[in-house]
């Protein structure tokens, strides 16, 4: 299979692995980008395309080659994904969302469910923090403190990525994740954190009627398996899988474990 094409002239810039089958849109986390699904890090896009699906690994707004949106909120992020699916001309697409990308996928289900054929929710949650907002304020203050001190993303990224990965994650995978996060524009990172701080789509879960895979890492401290299992239990159609020895950056840490599970789900449910 040849290298993926970089497509900039689209509602969202993306890497594209062409195949005859329907599109699968890959949505990255707050510290990621299109390359998290690429050949140098996870090979997820290539694996999806090898199974016959057209893989689309996007830069969400403000990341990579996609312009920022204003206001920068979850509804706007979901609209950008909807616009991309419309632009692809396929009618529907499967969505694979990691962390913040999973939240964007759920937000898409609240606004344009007719455009989604199936969902894979990886290392994510249906709500961020607690209803009183105090946890969110503390989280944002902690995450942004190094940036407020002028240290920049390149100083912030290595420690954060190390803390998100399993202690058993390969060193090179953690290093590549840190390089990816270092490249996120600081302004985008701040906006993305603020966007997810108020996210809450728990009431949506029982209404979902499409195929859903909830994929957790056993060592994920950001979206613990107990949280993901509870989310899956509220979705009548959901499958739940937990991968041993895997942390929050599942597809980057353990692609040989993650990609077959993801592809198998798509082959069963997306036609």
Per-residue pLDDT of the chain (271 residues; tens, 9 = 90+): 778 999 999 999 999 999 999 999 999 999 999 999 999 999 999 999 999 999 999 999 999 999 999 999 999 999 999 999 999 998 999 999 999 999 999 999 999 999 999 999 999 999 987 656 787 888 888 889 999 999 999 999 999 999 999 999 999 999 999 999 999 999 999 999 999 998 999 999 999 999 999 999 999 999 999 999 999 999 998 999 999 999 999 999 999 999 999 999 999 999 9
Numbers of helices and strands, H then E, in the chain: 10, 8
Q: Indicate the SS3 state at residue 64.
A: coil
Cα–Cα distance, 119 to 212 (Å, whole number): 5
| Lookup: tokens for 179 | 């390089």
Domain edges within the chain:
5-269
- 114-to-48, 67, 85, 255 alpha-carbon distances in Å: 22, 26, 11, 30
* pTM check: above 0.85: yes
Task: Write out the CATH class of domain 5-269.
Answer: alpha beta
- Tell me the HSE value of 30 on the side-chain side, using a 13 A CA sphere: 28
């Amino acid at each position: 299979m040849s290298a993926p094409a970089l497509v900039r002239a689209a509602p969202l810039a993306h890497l594209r692995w062409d195949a005859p089958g329907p599109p699968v849109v890959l949505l990255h986390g707050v510290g990621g980008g299109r390359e998290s699904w690429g050949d140098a890090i996870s090979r997820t896009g290539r694996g999806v395309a090898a199974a016959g699906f057209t893989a689309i690994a996007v830069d969400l707004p403000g990341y990579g080659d996609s312009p920022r949106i204003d206001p920068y909120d979850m509804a706007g992020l979901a609209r950008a994904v909807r616009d991309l699916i419309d632009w692809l001309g396929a009618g529907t697409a499967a969505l694979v969302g990691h962390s913040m990308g999973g939240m964007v996928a759920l937000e898409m289900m609240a606004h344009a469910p007719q455009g989604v054929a199936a969902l894979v929710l990886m290392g994510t949650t249906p709500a961020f923090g607690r209803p009183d907002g105090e946890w969110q304020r503390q989280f944002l203050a902690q995450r942004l403190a190094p940036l407020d001190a002028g240290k920049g993303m390149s100083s912030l990224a290595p420690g954060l990525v190390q803390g998100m990965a399993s202690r058993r994650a390969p060193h090179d995978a953690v290093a590549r994740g840190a390089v990816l996060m270092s490249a996120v524009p600081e302004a985008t990172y701040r906006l993305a954190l603020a966007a997810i701080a108020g996210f809450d789509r728990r009431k949506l879960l029982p209404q979902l009627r499409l195929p859903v895979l909830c994929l957790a890492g056993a060592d994920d401290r950001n979206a613990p398996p107990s949280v993901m299992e509870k989310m899956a239990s509220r979705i009548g159609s959901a499958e739940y899988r937990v991968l041993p020895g895997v942390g929050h950056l599942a597809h980057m840490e353990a692609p040989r474990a993650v990609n077959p599970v993801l592809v198998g789900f798509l082959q069963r449910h997306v036609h």
